[in-house]
Amino acid sequence: MVPLKAETWIWWTFVVLCVICRMISRYLNLGTVRRFQADDYITMVAMCFYTTLIVTINIVAKSDSNLLPPGFDVNSLTPEQIHDRAYGSKLVLVVEQCQIMTVWCEKLCMLLLYRRLTVGVWEIRAIKALFFYVCISWVIMEVLYFGVWCRPFHMYWAVPSTTQCTAATHHLITNAVFNISSDTMILAVALPMFIKTRLPLRKKIAIVGIFSLGTFVIICAILNKVYSFNQPFGLEWTYWYVRESSTALLTANAAFVWALLRRVFKLRSLGSFSGKNTYTPYNGYTPTYTTTHTRVETLHRKKTPRHDEIDLDLLMPDPDEFEGIHRHTEIHRDMGRGLGDERAGRAETGEQQ
């Protein structure tokens, strides 16, 4: 097995490079950091917690805590050993909170990204509901952790302490339920968004790659709890804490990295052999649609810069192509009925005249 220190810093290096690429991509697209959006700043916050997690978890791996094996004689501990175990227990608390903040920040980033790419009514409502669920689950989990599960609070690092404070069983169960359920629902909402869109094989393969990362995040979340319960005195759980947090960050930033690589190396679009972003016509014609200002335009119009540069060519047709679609109907309905609505309007106007 690779030593924890080596694996954690390898993960950290890849994540830092990924986030740097994201920020460069955003800067090149937006022209100034002043135009950065909420998910950009949330990513920065997540990186602070993630770096603290990496540093602290390596210290925890070499430290003792107040989690004592059955039959352990507490009276055999010296004052210095008690102090060291109390210090180690405080670091475990830091690790837990940093891991929570990293993962939950990236959930928000993914939802904000999906919100910018979404045009359907159902998807918008689902993402709003998920956003609420992610936020309220974090609040509930933290309230329980700091104010309910272990009282008084200093018992989290007291030597000796109660099993509920040392093993944090109730918290781990709560965390697993909220964490795994929210990740699963995020994937469940995102997948139909891409399935409904006509995509070339190359883009479908890319989507499978992204969703594979999301699935791996869920697997890591499950395994870190399995090892926390089954091997509480071992270090396996630390590996999976790092893997979950690292993969969550990589997943949330992968699309921006691809956008930068395309810009720097002039890579072709995954969905086009000519290197230009294209969209497959619907039933043989270029679709039209009605915007919120009742204008009728074609999807194949001259592209203009926008804040969410994700030409997420990697995930779906360029969001710029969908910028004018109204947000009150599904895409397929809009494309199929746009021309009909326009003609009906003209006919009605003619009758009135």
Residues 130-157: tens digit of each pLDDT: 999 999 999 999 999 999 999 999 999 9
- Contact 23/15 with Cβ under 8 angstroms? no
In tens, the pLDDT along 172-201 reads: 999 999 999 999 999 888 777 766 666 666
Return the percentage of the chain with pLDDT > 70, whole number: 70
* Stretch 266-284: mean pLDDT: 43
Is-above-0.85 flag for pTM? no
Greater model confidence, 255 or 60? 60
Domains present along the chain, CATH in parentheses: 4-69+79-265 (1.20.1070), 288-352 (no CATH)
How confident is residue 209, by pLDDT bands cut at 50, 70 and 90?
A: confident
Please tell me the predicted confidence (pLDDT) of residue 292: 37
166 pLDDT higher than 60:
yes
**CA of 345: how far to CAs of 88, 297, 335, in Å?**
72, 15, 16
Tokens of 32: 């100034």
Which of 321, 334, 347 lies closest to 292 in space, CA to CA?
334
How far from 28 is each of 34, 77, 294, CA to CA, in Å?
A: 12, 58, 33
Tokens of 29: 């697209």
